[in-house]
Chains A and B, each alone.
Chain A
Amino acid sequence: EAGVTQSPTHLIKTRGQQATLRCSPISGHTSVYWYQQALGLGLQFLLWYDEGEERNRGNFPPRFSGRQFPNYSSELNVNALELEDSALYLCASSSLIGLSEAFFGQGTRLTVV
């Protein structure tokens, strides 16, 4: 069974541009979580989607947004990129509410220059 897949693996953007990151959850998982992991820091919660709806968001500005598609895959969009947005962006998926741990993808390394 395929795990959580993220694309692209690496992404280089210039300041002010927009970045789009994609995530495909494990088959059967309906929840998708996005985290930011800046160098030397822990995982910072960004967004949680379940059944196509945004359920919760972390303490990030509105230029961080996303969506979940009917097939449960998800996109994270970051507008007006800033240098400090450079980080590893991790997607995780989990199964039925209250019954499952979260599994992570390998991440997208975003570099803003």
Chain B
Amino acid sequence: QKEVEQDPGPLSVPEGAIVSLNCTYSNSAFQYFMWYRQYSRKGPELLMYTYSSGNKEDGRFTAQVDKSSKYISLFIRDSQPSDSATYLCAMSNTGNQFYFGTGTSLTVIP
């Protein structure tokens, strides 16, 4: 079983839709949770960073962590064509070794 599972998509939504991206994990010791956005042929860009359980909001982005279910989510409100990218989840138990999902490809159609 992989440490982190992420549906690769592709996911296609109309502009303005709410997007939900999810990852599940197997290691209950994970405490640090991150979401990265990666545009084609570019390095991943850190979007959200949360520690332990709960929600975190930043503009149109909300990250949720449910440690009891070993499930994390990223919600994008009022999605824009510029949000079209691959979204990677990542997690860590110590903050210095990171486990990545394979990424979900998102396309927002104008």
A-side residues, CB < 8 A to B, are 4, 6, 31, 33, 35, 41-43, 45, 48, 50, 55-56, 88, 90, 92, 94, 97-107, 109
Contact = CB atoms under 8 A, between A and B. Distances in A.
Contacts of B97: 48, 56
A104 B95 contact: no
A104 B45 contact: yes
Contacts of B98: 33, 45, 92, 102
A48 B96 contact: yes
A31 B32 contact: no
Given A98-B94, A101-B34, A101-B49, A43 B100 contact: yes
A106 B102 contact: no
B87 to A, nearest CB: 12
A85 B44 CA distance: 20
Contacts of B102: 41-42
Interface residues of B, number: 21
Interface stretch (B35-43, B52-60, B68-76, B77-85): B35-43
Q: Interface on chain A toward B: helix, strand, loop, or mixed SS?
A: strand
Contacts, number: 56
B107 to A, nearest CB: 16
B46 interface: yes
Given A31-B96, A42-B102, A43-B88, A101 B42 contact: no
Contacts of B45: 104
Contacts of A48: 96-97
A42 B101 contact: yes
A56 B93 CA distance: 15
Contact of B95 (A56, A88, A94): A94
Contacts of A90: 43-44
